[in-house]
Amino acid sequence: MPMTIDEQQAELNYIRQNPAEFVDFNISWSVNISYSLSFSNTFEVNRYVTQLNSSLILNGDFNLTEKWKMGFNCYYDVKNLKMQSLTTFLSRDMHCWQLTVNVTPVGYYRSFNITINPKSSILRDLHINRTRTFY
């Protein structure tokens, strides 16, 4: 039996008064997991050396709000049990412009980058960029 208008209104009021009890599934998100296994046989000083490497790659993003997006990319070396790199980003859609902040706190090349650029393809070469890299 369908809900009456009064029941629907009561349910909406309860949702508005208790937002922590509900999850907004309209916020888009994505998570990708991949595994890489490589096998190589190389010739070094009169003998062949066999190498087996494996890595786990995890990346994803989600919308914090309609205009804010956050994401990450992680590379983990399974053979050495060590995180090789981690990169995170935060972006903001500002109508005709876009702001992006990239941070790489883990890895050989650590860096951060802040970019503001127009979304129009005609003006794609016009942007403000600030980058710092640490080794």
- β-pairing verdict for 128-134 and 82-94: unpaired
* Token pair listed for 76: 């983990």
Return the percentage of the chain with pLDDT > 90, whole number. Answer: 33
Above 90 in pLDDT, residue 32? yes
pLDDT at 132: 77
pLDDT at 25: 57
DSSP for 40-59, written as a single string: EEEEETTEEEEEEEEEEEEE
- What does the alpha-carbon distance between residue 116 and residue 95 come to, in Å, rounded to a whole number? 12
Mind listing the pLDDT tens digit for each residue in 51-99? Answer: 889 999 999 999 888 888 999 999 999 988 999 999 999 999 888 888 8
Mind listing the pLDDT tens digit for each residue in 57-66? Answer: 999 999 888 8
Residue 124 pLDDT level (bands cut at 50, 70, 90)? low
Instruction: Name residues whose C-beta falls within 8 Å of residue 36's C-beta, 6 or more positions apart in sequence.
Output: 53, 54, 55, 56, 57
Q: Report helix, strand or coil for 100.
A: strand
Residue 61 near residue 71, CB atoms below 8 Å: yes
Domain definitions of the chain by residue range: 28-134
